[in-house]
Amino acid sequence: MAEVRTHCPYCALQCGTVLGGEAGRTVVRPDEEFPVNQGGLCQKGWTAPALLGTPDRLTRPLVRGADGRLAPSTWEAALDMIAARLGDIRAEHGPDAVGVFGGGGLTNEKAYQLGKFARVALGTSQIDYNGRFCMSSAAAAGTAAFGLDRGLPFPVTDLGGAEVILLAGANPAETMPPLMRHLNKARLIVIDPRRTPTAEAAALHLQPAPGTDLALALGLLHLAVVEGHADQPFLNERTTGFDAAWRRAAAWWPERVERVTGVPVAEQREAVRMLAAARRAYVLTGRGAEQHSKGTDTVSAFINLALTLGLPGRQGSGYGCLTGQGNGQGGREHGQKADQLPGYRMLTDPAARAHVAAVWGVEPEDLPGPGRSAYELLDALGTDGGPRALLVFGSNPAVSAPHAARIGDRLASLDLLVVADFVPSETALLADVVLPVTQWAEEEGTMTNLEGRVLRRRRLLTPPGEARSDLEVLHGLAVRLGRPAAQFPTEPREVFEELRRASRGGRADYSGISYERLDAGEALYWPCPEAPGGQAGPGGPAGPGGEDPAGEERAPHPGTPRLFLDAFAHPDGLARFAEVEHRDSAETPDADFPLYATTGRVLAQYQSGAQTRRIPELHAAAPEMFVEVHPDTAGRHGLVEGAAARVSSARGSTVARVRLVGTLRTDTVFLPFHFAGAGRANLITSPALDPRSKMPEFKVCAVRIGPVAGRPAEPAAEPLTEPLAEPLIGARP
């Protein structure tokens, strides 16, 4: 039986798998040798092959006809039609009238090519991607503190050597189960308003009100200093800016923190004592701390705490962000972000523009400037001055964007919506043209996991029907838009070779990484410049590199598993404290909307659910929208276990089945965001954005909750929400 070593198609852990069998009978098992999952897989990984042959898999292009229905078409007709309409829209409204929305699940090659396609073939500045909704706050704070943003600047296996790990707003027991093998060796401190399975596994669970982590982190820093745990030699030698940060934290004495967060003083003290007493400790953040209108400052406050204790830049300790999507790390390095060029370069940097323009064979002045961030882009669709056409690759914003009803209206107002996907996602169902693409097991490429290690995705199967790879789609469109065929290759390896050159000398330098080295089994973490070993300081990004004539004789650069051990990546080598202050969430409970709502994930569903809702075993495990409510709160609002509830915010409402959870805060309800239609959590979420990262406030809005009108306050018998959207071939909703 043919077998390939590859990786799970879902989250950033990118568990190693061995895939075998043939179309219709593909089987997966964990790769025992891959150190991240060490033979483990979660339920989603085990069942991933089921999506390859899902009954409503897209295998032919679909074009919406004059009757308003999507109907099968040919690739020629579909691509010709898109190119012609894009041409008209550009001629009438200019190049920025076309927008592109990418995804953190795309391979490095696709993410790179998508950014190049937008800037070179479309000439538009209007490109961003769903990673903006994911780890952008951590990226902004990490870059500011360390000069470089690699989610974990150390291998995952290092976590197994820690004595204490603080998890702020992360629930890996459900979102990355195999990671718990490493985490469980330490005593965990979990900060989460809910008593999650991760919190159950913790030595200490701090349960703040949603949106108050910034005050809590300031308070922990306060205690660390007044109780004498500041690492003074480390502060002097390796950091700058402590005094300004301390001036803020000095005012956050424990009783004040308890008043704002609800976390008792004794628990704050215990957390600081545990961290300070550990010889090796980590502070890790997840979306719970990051998806706020103050997400960047909140992460900065946790980094301040880690720096005060002297954790970052030391082997066996540190700060990290648990990046989420399969290629959430690589997806933010190669230029699909509004302000970025490949190699994690900035679009506003003249040297970066000159370097990348030379690789692309264009003039630097022809590269557009930075565009709108993800929510701002979606919010501007079809408005005066906003894009009139949108191409979506690897996202389902009709379900996953905040204030989803508004975004649904914006998508519907476009002159042209094109969605490339392998399933009829809720966004695809709104499109004028749907392009069927290949899935993980049918394609080659690379992914960069949450530790910055570059991995090979390998092909086992031939694509079904007429499905094409995203690279082929971009090629077909670029050629029709008048670009030379050779400028948009369709072979992933060829694209990667170009990506290497484009990233050379950038912050995320991949120039020393090749398919050959990866296929030979090397574990390569960026930066990995083409210069031989020792040319790039392990503490910082590679220099211009790659041109050392002696390089050929010496061993190639080994990559950089651990960053910052000698120096942080700022020019002076010092880490920077951030002067941050607590502020309220954009919305706090009031008389009309007396409760906090927060949102997140369950084990059996992935993201917008477009993939996992189609897998019978996962659907059975998590079939419909629910809302977690404390029994006292439910009682006050006329709800019982299993009843149909309406949860309403200032923007709209969603329908969910009540789950009584005695360990939840009484002022908070929780909703997963994996469900579609009337059960979308994002019908209620707030589009307030972080001013720096432009991260939406997915984790806090103010709501009221009650029985669905006309229904008795008793357990509802029938399913509340449809698992899948309307039949594919149908009128535009």
Binding site for ligand SF4 (CB under 6 A): 8, 10-11, 13-15, 37, 41-42, 44-45, 176-178
Q: Is 261 in the site for ligand MGD (CB under 6 A)?
A: no
With CB under 5 to 8 Å by kind, the binding choice for 608 among ligand SF4, ligand MGD, Mo ion, none is ligand MGD
* CB of residue 45 to Mo ion, shortest distance in Å: 17
Which residue lies nearer to ligand MGD by CB, 86 or 531?
Answer: 86
Q: Is 431 in the site for Mo ion (CB under 5 A)?
A: no
- Cα separations in angstroms, 476 against 117, 482, 636: 11, 10, 59
* CB of residue 337 to ligand SF4, shortest distance in Å: 23
Distance separating alpha carbons of residues 281 and 261, to the nearest angstrom: 24
With CB under 5 to 8 Å by kind, the binding choice for 15 among ligand SF4, ligand MGD, Mo ion, none is ligand SF4
* CB of residue 601 to Mo ion, shortest distance in Å: 9
CB atoms within 10 A of CB 233: 8
Which residue lies nearer to ligand MGD by CB, 43 or 143?
Answer: 43
Which residue lies nearer to ligand MGD by CB, 111 or 144?
Answer: 111
Q: Is 134 in the site for Mo ion (CB under 5 A)?
A: yes
* CB of residue 31 to ligand SF4, shortest distance in Å: 11
3-state secondary structure string across 385-440 = CCCCEEEEECCCHHHHCCCHHHHHHHHHCCCEEEEEECCCCCCHHHCCEEEEECCH
Distance separating alpha carbons of residues 358 and 182, to the nearest angstrom: 44
Where in 264-303 is the site for ligand MGD (CB under 6 A)?
A: 286-289, 291
Q: Which of 14, 17, 108, 130 binds ligand MGD (CB under 6 A)?
A: 130
* CB of residue 139 to Mo ion, shortest distance in Å: 12
* Binding residues for Mo ion, total number by CB under 5 A: 3
Tell me the DSSP string of 36-101: TTTT---HHHHHGGGGTT-TT---S-EEE-TTSBEEE--HHHHHHHHHHHHHHHHHHH-GGGEEEE
Kindly report each contact of residues 81-88 with a partner whose C-beta sits within 8 Å and lies 24 or more positions away, as own/partner. 81/433, 82/416, 82/418, 82/433, 82/477, 82/480, 83/477, 83/480, 83/481, 85/389, 85/415, 85/416, 86/122, 86/389, 86/416, 86/477, 86/481, 87/481
In the numeric block, which tokens belong to residue 44? 């989603």
* CB of residue 177 to ligand SF4, shortest distance in Å: 6
DSSP E strands, 183-229? 187-191, 204-206
Q: Which of 261, 325, 514, 535 binds ligand MGD (CB under 6 A)?
A: 325
Q: Which of 106, 407, 460, 502 binds ligand MGD (CB under 6 A)?
A: 106
Q: Which of 40, 324, 546, 609 binds Mo ion (CB under 5 A)?
A: 324
Distance separating alpha carbons of residues 548 and 23, to the nearest angstrom: 47
With CB under 5 to 8 Å by kind, the binding choice for 83 among Mo ion, ligand MGD, ligand SF4, none is none
Which of 257, 321, 260 is closest to 288 using CA atoms?
321
- Cα separations in angstroms, 567 against 55, 239, 409: 53, 10, 49
The separation between CA 690 and the C-alpha centre of its own chain, rounded to angstroms, equals: 16
Which residue lies nearer to ligand SF4 by CB, 603 or 728?
Answer: 603
Q: Is 600 in the site for ligand MGD (CB under 6 A)?
A: yes
Q: Which residues bind ligand MGD (CB under 6 A)?
A: 11, 103-106, 130, 133-134, 168-172, 174-176, 191-194, 196, 210-211, 213, 286-289, 291, 324-325, 393-397, 399-400, 420-423, 425, 437, 470, 598-601, 603, 605-608, 610-611, 670, 673, 681-682, 685, 698-699
Q: Which residues bind Mo ion (CB under 5 A)?
A: 134, 324-325
